[in-house]
Structure 1
């Protein structure tokens, strides 16, 4: 079992969130130790401090972030792999005013709608059905080394 801890936002703006994530991570380490699970340590993955690792909503990872995390997970599992760090495009040079304008656009596009959904006790996932609503086998390279797939009869139990 691989457990993912929360990333270190490193942001003073998110200081309250950062401290809660740190407490969550310590509790997760206790659970992992109790069950001999592996921690995919995103808190220590300093590359995640790069804004290019995050999607435009600043909540989900970008393809670059996912690639970086995938390599870290494989390293955590001691699985040899050929994933090389990707070289992201350089960040554009922008003035303080341009950066704040981008922050305002982000707040209007992503943050305010999120707050409104929370106040209305709604989720962006309401009304969306699962891509795979019933459990099934996982296929792919390397699966046999880490997982034993139950037979169809075992899955029905």
Structure 2
């Protein structure tokens, strides 16, 4: 009997930071890597990924939850709420009440929820209130996971992510190495043997004080200020994107091949043999 892994959420689960133009939306991500490893254990595993970058919790509930449950999944991974806690006007208590209702619906549908805490990112002192909100969020996620028998990937505890080489240039999303490492953690929680192995990271770049200051200034100008600008304009990077794998696929058939066939179909080309 086939089993189905469905991933819902925001940029973390869509795969932002693990850039690869051969895959839908130009990213690969930890969930694709997990799905591939599941298929190596049992080729009958199927996989769908409905996550879209920038989505907030209520959007994930409204747009992704029921479509995911309609697929009758075995496991539903969900990382949601990270974009909400960046908004200081959002109250944590009602946010986590909605989160718990979402998890309860997954469990009631007979699927196993797979939840994540948020990493304790070392932020600029100006952003320290967001870090404290992340701590509160994590406390709620752990409690909810225990209440509903959910699997928990306690990202908070993964000290290796203090290495900046596991992060993309925006410092908010994981790099390809970070996504691969996360996939290994998820597979461990799922109890799945895997063939993922970490490639040696390049030596950390040693920067002078002047170079560090220029890098910090560029980060604010290229990533932080534009992010808050989008929030003020009520626009997001995911506004015109579709889910990467909206219908269940068989990763055993090859994700790159399936992505190429999907691209050719959308472009009106005949699938390659």
| Cα RMSD for the two superposed structures | 1.7
Aligned: 1:4 with 2:104: no
Q: Which of the residues 127, 135, 147 maps onto 2:240?
A: 127
Offset of residue 120 of structure 1 = 1.3
- Once the two structures are superposed, residues 24-50 of structure 1 have per-residue CA deviations (whole angstroms, 9 ceiling, x without a partner) of 011011111111111111100111111
Aligned residues: 139
Structure 2 alignment gaps of length 5 or more? 1-112, 253-273
- CA distance in 1: counterparts of 2:135 and 2:157, whole angstroms: 11
Aligned: 1:64 with 2:177: yes
Structure 1 residue matching 2:115: 3-state secondary structure: strand
Q: Call closer, same or farther: CA 1:83–1:53 in 2, change over 3 Å.
A: same
- Once the two structures are superposed, residues 6-28 of structure 1 have per-residue CA deviations (whole angstroms, 9 ceiling, x without a partner) of 00114463432221111101101
TM-score, with length taken from structure 1: 0.80
Q: 2:210 corresponds to which residue?
A: 97
Q: 2:229 corresponds to which residue?
A: 116
Quick check: which one's strand share is greater? Answer: 2
Q: Which of the residues 222, 241, 251 maps onto 1:140?
A: 251
Quick check: which one's helix share is greater? Answer: 2
Aligned: 1:55 with 2:148: no
My pick for the range that moved more, 84-93 or 45-54, is 84-93
Q: Which has the higher contact order (CA 8 A, sep 6+)?
A: 2
- CA distance in 2: counterparts of 1:130 and 1:81, whole angstroms: 26
